[in-house]
């Protein structure tokens, strides 16, 4: 039963089944001093009388308890017969429950009653834990109370050595943490509220510290053992491009990140770097230049994008930039025709093609490289770990990996989810960008919005209309989109205006054609679903209208908005919604209107949704802790990380005597000891 309902298999699991809260039954309240502000009260007195009142639904058992200072009413609506039988008038009882007031008189409904004659019912010396249990368990009589008894009994048979300390003494001292044994006792049975807090702090720290330690060990092991292709030099390809063909001056952040990448790739170990940069921060050019270093070292590189549109765009951009240098770029997607595909595959296999852009099609078995030296993954959150791993296998020595994401991840989240990767941030936008002005408008302001759009179009600008189509296959939403399209068309009729549309039900080719018409300015308006979300770059588009904006998550809104504000024109993002918007949605919209800083938005997202849902996380499992919550416990996380780093720097194999307990704890995983299983 415990197994199935709560996943409790062992004593250890039971110890880790933490109480939801505690009841303070260490004090007895004098009845005469009860005031309406009190919540849970415990009183002690003599049971004066009991009687059943009312009929049917209002049938209840009413009793009165008296102490030296006053009388309180006790009421039961359920289990009346049983309660009546178990209590005796004239006896002393402790009554505990939630305080209510009726006609100015204090009362407790369904109090827990304990006879004072009963030795165990004496006033508690510790706070009483309330455990989470399921309805099924309750029905079987195993309520939170009974769980407390089980746990209490467990503490009678175990000793401090069963919960040995795993943290080094120096940390315990400097952070004033209670011992592990103490923490487990206090989290279940604190003497007072302080103790509970101490226990929680200690256990949260332990949890985060152990997780960080594992990540750092993984990372440093990789650094020490992973052999990588050495890109020893920066040569002609890179330098010629840098000096003669780079269309703009790199930002300081771009230069810094390129340097980090260069160092990694020249070090002799495999690079595994996460590159984060807000939308529009210019990650693509960094990837391109890293690829040029690969060329200088006679290696091939690939860049994998999540959509055809994006792959196509990278391909166009790379081809244009590299053409003057005589470097050929290939493209491989699901819709590449077989003749072209054959040519590309041959070029990769014999090494004549040194840069390939593509989608998932790149990881297919048929794709063989002569010497793959660098694999770039764009917008990584659209890919799984397994897909990434398949790129590794395309070379005997694993290629350097550069993983790029525009989903800003709060530092704390990145530390936990990607702690084993090296990490670079482009935290600076190219110069000359004016922040996108964002406003929230209700549907009934549509005419004004459309007027505004007309005036923008007359200035030569282009406009996106985005509709929420989350599950592209759903027929209903598809019809909504079509309705939306017709609606836009009604406001902007041909031949004065031309509209292109892109959605997930189109073939890649159709998408491409429509996208291309927009890029070429043949159409002024793009109606789209979120397929446009990632990476697309049309600098002349200066207005984005997001329909039913309340249906989108924060990071998605931010991604979408990133499609505008890419040129030098003043850009706008208009969030349309109905008038009935929930509180959370309203919060999201107001965050969007108040900032364009992706990191701030990500922090806010983390706050609003909790870590489990954040897109861009690699494995949400890595973010689920028993006690710690990375949104709230940022401070502890930073601390834990700093200690983990310090310890491993000093003693990477955890060989020092003071680190032995820690080492063995990590080795057993979760200390199972020789505890038997509960069945
Ligand atoms: P993202 O980081 O979102 O992938 P992109 O790489 O698509 O951003 O870059 C966005 C736009 O900014 C592109 O048009 C690119 O050419 C331009 N850009 C990139 N770096 C710079 C720079 N240092 N100065 C000016 N424009 C730049
Ligand atoms: Mg991009």
Residue pLDDT, tens place only, 566-575? 777 889 999 9
Question: Would you place residue 559 in the very low, low, confident or very high pLDDT band (cuts 50, 70, 90)?
Answer: confident
Answer yes or no: is pLDDT of 368 > 50.
yes
Q: How far apart are CA 166 and CA 655, in angstroms?
A: 14
**What pLDDT score does 227 carry?**
77
Question: Would you place residue 66 in the very low, low, confident or very high pLDDT band (cuts 50, 70, 90)?
Answer: very high
pLDDT in tens, 283-314: 999 999 999 999 999 999 999 998 888 899 89
Nearest CA to ligand 1 atom 27: 430
Highest-pLDDT range among 122-126, 552-556, 562-566, 641-645: 641-645
Nearest CA to ligand 1 atom 18: 282
Answer yes or no: is pLDDT of 676 > 60.
no
**What pLDDT score does 278 carry?**
83
275 CA distance to ligand 1 middle (Å)? 14
**What pLDDT score does 656 carry?**
93
Is 282 close to ligand 1, i.e. is its CB under 6 Å away? yes
Question: What average pLDDT does the structure give for the chain?
Answer: 85
Shortest-distance atom of ligand 1 to CA 432: 25
Q: If you ran DSSP here, which 8-state letter would residue 243 be given?
A: I
Shortest-distance atom of ligand 1 to CA 284: 6
Is 248 close to ligand 1, i.e. is its CB under 6 Å away? yes
pLDDT in tens, 222-237: 776 677 889 999 999 9
Answer yes or no: is pLDDT of 469 > 80.
no
Residue 112: CA count within 13 A, CB half-sphere: 11
Q: In this structure, what are the phi and psi dihedrals at residue 90, rounded to the nearest 5 degrees?
A: 95, -10
Is 417 close to ligand 1, i.e. is its CB under 6 Å away? no
Is 254 close to ligand 1, i.e. is its CB under 6 Å away? yes
Nearest CA to ligand 1 atom 10: 280
Pocket test for ligand 1, best of 280, 309, 310, 559 (most atoms within 8 A of CB): 280
Nearest CA to ligand 1 atom 20: 282
Shortest-distance atom of ligand 1 to CA 279: 3
Q: How far apart are CA 540 and CA 564, in angstroms?
A: 8
Whether the Cβ atoms of residue 330 and residue 560 lie closer than 8 Å to each other: no
pLDDT in tens, 89-127: 999 998 988 999 888 889 999 998 888 876 555 567 778
Sign of CA dihedral 300, 305, 311, 315: negative
Q: How far apart are CA 294 and CA 400, in angstroms?
A: 10
Query: How many residues appear in the chain?
Result: 679
**What pLDDT score does 619 carry?**
41
Q: How far apart are CA 291 and CA 285, in angstroms?
A: 10
305 CA distance to ligand 1 middle (Å)? 16
Whether the Cβ atoms of residue 397 and residue 234 lie closer than 8 Å to each other: no
- Going by C-alpha positions, the residue among 39, 34, 37 that lies closest to residue 73 is 34
- Which ligand has an atom closest to residue 321 CA? 1
Lowest mean pLDDT, pick from 277-291, 400-414, 570-584, 663-677: 663-677
531 CA distance to ligand 2 middle (Å)? 14
Is 257 close to ligand 1, i.e. is its CB under 6 Å away? no
What is the helix, strand, coil percentage profile of the chain, to 5? 45, 20, 35
- Residue list, CB under 5 A from ion ligand 2: 535
Question: Would you place residue 388 in the very low, low, confident or very high pLDDT band (cuts 50, 70, 90)?
Answer: low
429 CA distance to ligand 1 middle (Å)? 8
239 CA distance to ligand 1 middle (Å)? 20
Buried b (16+ CB within 10 A) or exposed e, 42-66: bbbbebeebeeeeeeeeeebebbbe
Pocket test for ligand 1, best of 250, 378, 381, 430 (most atoms within 8 A of CB): 430
Helices 308-322 and 508-519 pack at an angle, to 10 degrees, of 50
Question: Would you place residue 606 in the very low, low, confident or very high pLDDT band (cuts 50, 70, 90)?
Answer: confident
Mean pLDDT across the stretch 131-147? 72
Lowest mean pLDDT, pick from 108-122, 162-176, 260-274: 108-122
Look up residue 96 and give its two tokens. 């505990």
Answer yes or no: is pLDDT of 134 > 50.
yes
230 CA distance to ligand 2 middle (Å)? 27
- Which ligand has an atom closest to residue 254 CA? 1
Neighbouring residues of 146: CB distance < 8 A, sequence distance ≥ 6: none
**What pLDDT score does 427 carry?**
86
**What pLDDT score does 643 carry?**
94
Is 251 close to ligand 1, i.e. is its CB under 6 Å away? yes
Radius of gyration of the chain (CA): 32
Taking CA 641 as the corner, what is the angle to CA 640 and CA 642, rounded to the nearest 5 degrees?
95
pLDDT in tens, 608-639: 776 554 444 434 445 667 888 777 788 898 89
Is 283 close to ligand 1, i.e. is its CB under 6 Å away? yes
Shortest-distance atom of ligand 1 to CA 281: 2
What is residue 397's three-state secondary structure?
coil
What is residue 633's three-state secondary structure?
coil
Shortest-distance atom of ligand 1 to CA 283: 2
Mean pLDDT across the stretch 17-25? 83
Q: How far is CA 166 from CA 160, 328, 388, 466, 469, in A?
A: 12, 57, 35, 53, 50
287 CA distance to ligand 2 middle (Å)? 10
**What pLDDT score does 298 carry?**
94
Nearest CA to ligand 1 atom 5: 282
- Going by C-alpha positions, the residue among 527, 274, 532 that lies closest to residue 406 is 274
Lowest mean pLDDT, pick from 85-94, 391-400, 635-644: 391-400
pTM above 0.85, yes or no: no
Q: How far apart are CA 376 and CA 364, in angstroms?
A: 16
Find tokens 């989608």 and name the residue: 359
Is 406 close to ligand 1, i.e. is its CB under 6 Å away? yes
**Which three-class secondary structure string do you get for 45-75?**
EEEEEEEEECCHHHCEEEEEEEECCEEEEEE
Is 573 exposed, middle or buried, given 0-12, 13-18 or 19+ CB atoms closer than 10 A? buried
Pocket test for ligand 1, best of 256, 280, 282, 532 (most atoms within 8 A of CB): 282
Q: How far apart are CA 312 and CA 103, in angstroms?
A: 75
Q: For the chain, what percent of residues have pLDDT higher than 90?
A: 46
Buried b (16+ CB within 10 A) or exposed e, 222-259: beeeeebbebeebeebbeebeeeeeeeebbebbebbbe
pLDDT in tens, 324-352: 999 999 999 988 999 999 999 999 999 99
Is 566 close to ligand 1, i.e. is its CB under 6 Å away? yes
């Amino acid at each position: 039963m415990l197994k199935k309902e709560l996943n409790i298999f062992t004593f250890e699991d039971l110890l880790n089944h933490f109480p939801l809260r505690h009841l303070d039954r260490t004090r007895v309240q004098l009845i005469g001093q009860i005031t309406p502000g009190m919540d849970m009260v415990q009183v002690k007195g003599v049971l004066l009388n009991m009687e059943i009142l009312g009929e049917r639904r209002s049938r209840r058992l009413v009793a009165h308890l008296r102490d030296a200072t006053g009388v309180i009413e006790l009421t039961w609506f359920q289990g009346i017969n049983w309660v009546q039988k178990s209590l005796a008038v004239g006896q002393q009882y402790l009554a505990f429950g939630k305080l209510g007031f009726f006609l100015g008189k204090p009362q407790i409904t369904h109090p827990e009653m304990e006879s004072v004659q009963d030795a165990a019912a004496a006033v508690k010396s510790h706070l009483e834990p309330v455990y989470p249990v399921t309805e099924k368990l309750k029905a079987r009589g195993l309520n939170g109370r009974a769980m407390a008894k089980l746990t209490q009994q467990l503490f009678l048979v175990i000793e401090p050595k069963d919960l040995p300390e795993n943290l080094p003494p120096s940390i315990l001292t400097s952070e004033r943490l209670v011992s592990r044994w103490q923490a487990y006792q206090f989290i279940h049975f604190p003497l007072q509220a302080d103790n509970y807090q101490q226990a929680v702090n200690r256990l949260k720290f332990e949890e985060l510290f152990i997780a960080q330690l594992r990540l750092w060990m993984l990372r440093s092991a990789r650094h020490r053992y992973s052999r990588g292709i050495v890109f020893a030099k920066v040569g002609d390809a890179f330098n010629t491009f840098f000096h003669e063909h780079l269309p703009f001056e790199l930002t300081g952040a771009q230069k810094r990140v390129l340097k980090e990448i260069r160092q990694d790739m020249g070090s002799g170990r495999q690079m595994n770097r996460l590159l984060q940069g807000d939308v529009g921060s210019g990650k693509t050019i960094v990837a391109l230049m890293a690829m040029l270093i690969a060329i200088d070292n006679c290696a091939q590189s690939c860049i994998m994008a999540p959509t055809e549109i994006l792959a196509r765009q990278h391909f166009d951009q790379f081809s244009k930039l590299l053409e003057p240098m005589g470097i050929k770029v290939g493209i491989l997607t699901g819709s590449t025709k077989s003749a072209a595909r054959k040519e590309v595959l041959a070029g990769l296999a014999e090494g004549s093609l040194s840069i390939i852009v593509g989608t998932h099609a790149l990881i297919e078995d048929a794709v063989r490289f002569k010497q793959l030296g660098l694999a770039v993954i764009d917008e990584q959150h659209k890919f799984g770990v397994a897909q990434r791993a398949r790129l590794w296998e395309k070379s005997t020595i694993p290629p350097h990996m550069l993983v790029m994401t525009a989903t800003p991840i709060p530092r704390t989240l990145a530390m936990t989810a990607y702690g084993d990767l090296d990490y670079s941030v482009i935290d600076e936008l190219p110069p000359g960008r004016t922040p996108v002005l964002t406003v929230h408008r209700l549907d009934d302001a549509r005419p004004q919005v459309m007027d505004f759009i007309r005036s923008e179009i007359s200035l030569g600008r282009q406009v996106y209309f985005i509709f929420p189509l989350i599950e592209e296959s759903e027929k209903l939403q598809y019809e909504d989109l079509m309705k939306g399209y017709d609606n836009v068309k009604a406001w902007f009729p041909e031949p004065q205006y031309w509209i292109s549309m892109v959605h997930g039900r189109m073939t890649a080719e159709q998408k491409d054609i429509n996208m291309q018409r927009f890029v070429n300015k043949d159409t002024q308006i793009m109606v789209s679903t979120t397929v446009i979300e990632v990476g697309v770059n049309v600098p002349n588009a200066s207005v984005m209208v997001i329909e039913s904006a309340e249906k989108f998550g924060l990071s998605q809104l931010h991604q979408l908005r990133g499609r505008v504000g890419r040129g030098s024109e003043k850009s706008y993002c208009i969030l349309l919604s109905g008038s009935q918007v929930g509180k959370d949605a309203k919060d999201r919209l107001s965050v969007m209107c108040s900032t364009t800083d992706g990191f701030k938005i990500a922090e806010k997202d983390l706050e609003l949704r909790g870590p489990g849902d954040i897109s861009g996380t690699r494995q949400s499992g890595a973010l689920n802790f028993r006690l710690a919550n990375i949104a709230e416990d940022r401070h502890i996380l930073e601390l834990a990380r700093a200690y983990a780093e310090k310890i491993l720097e000093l003693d990477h194999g955890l060989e020092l005597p003071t680190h032995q307990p820690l080492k063995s704890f990590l080795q057993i995983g979760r200390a199972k000891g020789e505890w038997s299983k509960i069945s």
